[in-house]
A and B are shown apart, each in its own frame.
Chain A
Amino acid sequence: MAEPRRPLPRPTPETQHFWDGTREHELRLQRCDACDKVYFPPRPFCPGCASREVSVFKASGRGILYSYVINHRAAPGFEPPYSIAVVELDEGPRMMTNIVGTPQTPEALQLDMPVEVVFEPVGDEITLPLFRPTGAPS
């Protein structure tokens, strides 16, 4: 019997560009052409000024570890203990992720440490953006 898998995202018309990006190993964000705000999650308008003139761009994939918990309870597709983190990207927005490539301990997971995106395929359609400490082996 197959192991239970982690829940998968279902892209919508407004988020499709993001999930196409991760499948191509790109972390895509949106920037408002009118006020320059960079925002996430995806929307076809700027949540700061409501302008409809927004552009998708390829983000650097770099950020810092902003906060996290280390979950000790079982979850489908995960082996506890595992981190559930929020990364603050260099471009400004924050996103939820897991920190991989490092022990899942408070000592290894230091707030503000630099992290970089790695792409984890979870099936044909979806690749998830996870993060590892910058300089950690892949």
Chain B
Amino acid sequence: MASESPDPFPKTSDPVVLGVNYRTAPVAVLERVALGPARLPVEVRRTVEGGAAAEAVILSTCNRLEVWAVGTTTERLRDFAGGMTEAPELFQDSTVSYAFEGDAAVNHMFRVAAGLESMVLGETQILGQVKDSLAAAETAGAVGTVLRRIVEAAIKAGRRAQTETALHRGATSVASAAVELVRHIFRDLREKVALIVGAGETGSLVARHLIQAGVEKRVVTSRTEEHARALAAEIGGTVAPWAAVEEAVGEADIVVGCAASPDRVVGRDDLRRVLKRRRRGTLVLVDIGVPRNFDPAIDELPDVFLHDMDDLDRLVRSNLEKREREVPAVLRILDEVRDALRAEVAKERANPVIRGLVTRAEAARQEELARRKNQLAPEVYAAVERETKIVLAKLLHGPLEKIRQYAGDGVRGAGKLDAIVDAFDLGPLLAAEQAGGAGSPQTTPPAPSPADAGPPVAAAPPASKPGEAPS
């Protein structure tokens, strides 16, 4: 008869991922579905309280919206998830959304946390976003032991990928490549003077990268003085007059050209004249402008380095290729962490059933032995005790292996484990263990082994009283 005790292995405990991202949907669509920081905990709580999933984490970034859940199915999640966005039909459309279950879902979570699914391979911001999403779900009371363990393992895998591989290294944008190039010339940027030529969006972006790299002396110049002042105020710098841009270049160590100018801003001969008076050492110019701000002939001047968009593009491409070469090492780390997680979960599922089965079998054996103890001579009793132990060990060996196998087999295995629990009526035992020892470390008693029984001994005939025939 099926046990009425709580099912320790819910059939739908496999993880599920449902989402849309920059690969499957255009930016305009992603903009409509993005959840702000205020809405995120609300939606994740609603997902769990509304019965769509037992546990849930929602990851919402500018490039993806994903629901990571357990205790649900893809279909149930699709029906529910549409309600959290302004595009309810989105998650019903399998050409725009994607879904994973079980191992594939865990694999996807790990890949996302490691930066393998990001628009720029190896970007590190996503790991922080996954951590924040887990924190938001914790605050909303939407995550429990099962999903928490999986997401924490994904975060661990992502962190290991960052520290043990070079997946995240190397500049992958023009602005960061410009700074990286400058760092190959100057080790310490604190005492260097950086001049930004052009006060537009690119100038602002490059300036921020330079500040992050340690540049403390910032100068801005622009054809429109008002724009130069605005950018200088934004980055904590000073303004140089546009009319004296060559002099400003002469007094700088790093010059970034990002002005939208049809003509060259600085020519070679003008710069040569200024450099004669200069006592500052190496000068590096990075020309991000299209058309170029600086005369290419400037590159011929000694102690001057001039790099343009071609160089920066090559650097970015080279860095991305290096990141691609790190992917196999990252995948090995993900496999390691995932295998460890799988083994841990399987052990936790298997151990109570193993304990229950061994306990039930041993109890039956002890009951029979106790009944026969006074009827058998001591040496016969000892032999029976040994042999029954051997028989039990042989009988249980196969089923215990199967239990371990089913425990590591997700939802498929959970059903088979249930069948074993049912067949051997282990429900009450498991329920008692759960009720009595929840949260405390459980050890599995060693399963009886044929080796424990010692060498077989020939059975001696039972002692008989004088005059009585042996039984």
A binds B: no
